[in-house]
């Protein structure tokens, strides 16, 4: 079962106890804690160690940043940033949910920095004024910039419990809203179909559809335009426009245009479904399952009314693509704080 992955970002040697308590809490919540000292990040020999930390953030659900009094190892990304600072910036740039906790002593002295930042001042709670410059940058962000001061770990854990409970509540409300939206779409589709049928019968004064075969073909054409499969595929693939096709060939052409590739039958998980794969940015694959029962023997889309539709006829799931293992050692003697090697 997939679990939320939480990246723990901080300097290492001065905050080891904080990282350890966070790891235990995150694990107790049933989530997966990602800490570089636990081997959760795969390092290779092609780039600097810090680059792999930033890439790992693409694969996590959220990031917890702990800011103490040490600046840490300077990042190669710029002279004013430490590696832990760049981890937080990377998460914010990617739109990840980020929680920033700052030692209350550091946070209290930050106000002194704001009044004296143009002066040459020696600060008590930090070893480098760039920590305050970084906080100033975080506060200036238009979003995801809430900073929580803490004295001890129970404060941090209590805050995260409240926040994560709120996220779960929002998720449940969103699920209920999606069900209402699906019901609304079904009602609208049915109403549109009935409206077109009424118009057809109202305008049949000329006898154009008097023949039974002609009338049935006209009715089928109206019903097929409001087939439930179109809204389902649009929602699952994130298409920003209307979806329409009349047979399997047209559907696959539409999917191919959006980078979906059909898998060979021997690779299908279920022999009753056609499977299409889309590669995600982090290397994983998203699989789209389309039931073969939706098409007749000639590949034409079968007529189906909204009441007969079942969501599992078209569904998706994510699969992890194994990443190649790489040597765990990397020679870089300057990384002596944020990355404990």
Domain boundaries, the chain: 5-151, 177-319
Asked if pLDDT for residue 226 goes beyond 70, the answer is yes
Give the pLDDT of residue 161.
Answer: 92
Q: Among 19-33, 55-69, 256-270, 313-327, whose mean pLDDT is lowest? A: 313-327
Q: Among 141-150, 183-192, 270-279, whose mean pLDDT is lowest? A: 183-192
Q: What percent of the chain has pLDDT over 90?
A: 36
Give the pLDDT of residue 214.
Answer: 55
Give the pLDDT of residue 330.
Answer: 44
Give the pLDDT of residue 224.
Answer: 78
User: Starting at the edge strand that comes first in sequence, how are the strands of the sheet with 97-103 ordered?
Assistant: 32-34, 5-9, 62-67, 97-103, 147-150
Give the pLDDT of residue 334.
Answer: 46
Give the pLDDT of residue 82.
Answer: 92
Q: Among 146-155, 292-301, 332-341, whose mean pLDDT is lowest? A: 332-341
Position 24 confidence tier, pLDDT thresholds 50, 70, 90: very high
Q: Between these two residues, 194 and 160, which has the higher pLDDT value?
A: 160
Asked if pLDDT for residue 97 goes beyond 60, the answer is yes
Asked if pLDDT for residue 341 goes beyond 60, the answer is no
Asked if pLDDT for residue 181 goes beyond 90, the answer is no
Asked if pLDDT for residue 250 goes beyond 70, the answer is yes
pTM of the model: 0.55
Q: Please, which residues have CB within 8 angstroms of residue 148's CB and are 6 or more apart in sequence?
A: 99, 100, 101, 102, 155, 156, 159
Of 1.10.10.10, 3.10.20.30, 3.40.50.450, 3.40.50.1110, the CATH number of 5-151 is 3.40.50.450
Asked if pLDDT for residue 332 goes beyond 60, the answer is no
Asked if pLDDT for residue 212 goes beyond 50, the answer is no
Per residue in 277-296, pLDDT tens? 887 656 678 889 999 899 99
Q: Among 8-12, 23-27, 166-170, 337-341, whose mean pLDDT is lowest? A: 337-341
Asked if pLDDT for residue 215 goes beyond 60, the answer is no
Residue 168 structure tokens: 């779960």
Position 196 confidence tier, pLDDT thresholds 50, 70, 90: low
Position 207 confidence tier, pLDDT thresholds 50, 70, 90: low
Give the pLDDT of residue 40.
Answer: 63
Asked if pLDDT for residue 251 goes beyond 60, the answer is yes
Give the pLDDT of residue 270.
Answer: 72
Give the pLDDT of residue 71.
Answer: 93
Q: Between these two residues, 3 and 158, which has the higher pLDDT value?
A: 158
């Amino acid at each position: 079962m997939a679990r939320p992955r939480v990246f723990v970002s901080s300097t290492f040697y001065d905050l080891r106890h904080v990282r350890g308590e966070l790891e235990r809490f995150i694990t107790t919540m049933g989530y997966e804690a990602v800490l570089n000292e636990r081997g959760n990040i795969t390092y290779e020999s092609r780039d600097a160690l810090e680059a792999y930390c930033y890439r790992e953030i693409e694969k996590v659900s959220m990031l917890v940043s702990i800011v103490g009094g040490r600046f840490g190892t300077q990042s190669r990304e710029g002279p004013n940033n430490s590696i832990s600072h760049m981890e937080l910036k990377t998460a914010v740039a990617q739109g990840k949910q980020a929680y920033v906790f700052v030692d209350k002593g550091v946070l209290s002295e930050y106000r002194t920095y704001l009044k004296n930042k143009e002066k040459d001042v020696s600060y008590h709670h930090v070893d480098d004024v760039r920590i305050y410059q970084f906080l100033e940058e975080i506060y200036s962000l238009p979003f995801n910039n809430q900073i929580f001061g803490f004295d001890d770990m129970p404060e941090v854990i209590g805050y995260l419990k409240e926040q994560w409970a709120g996220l779960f509540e929002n998720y449940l409300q969103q699920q209920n809203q999606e069900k209402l939206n699906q019901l609304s779409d079904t009602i609208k589709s049915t109403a549109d179909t009935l409206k077109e049928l009424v118009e057809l019968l109202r305008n049949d004064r000329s006898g154009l559809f008097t023949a039974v075969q002609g009338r049935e073909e006209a009715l089928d054409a109206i019903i097929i335009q409001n087939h439930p499969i179109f809204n389902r595929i649009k929602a699952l693939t994130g298409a920003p426009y209307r979806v329409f096709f009349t047979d399997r060939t047209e559907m696959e052409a539409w999917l191919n245009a959006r980078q979906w590739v059909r898998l060979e039958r021997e690779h299908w998980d279920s022999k009753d479904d056609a499977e299409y794969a889309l590669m995600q940015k982090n290397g994983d694959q998203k699989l789209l399952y389309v039931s073969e029962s939706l098409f007749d023997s000639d590949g034409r889309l079968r007529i189906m009314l909204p009441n007969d539709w079942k969501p599992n006829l078209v569904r998706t799931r994510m699969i992890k693509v194994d990443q190649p293992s790489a040597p765990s050692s990397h020679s870089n003697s300057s990384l002596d704080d944020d990355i404990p090697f």
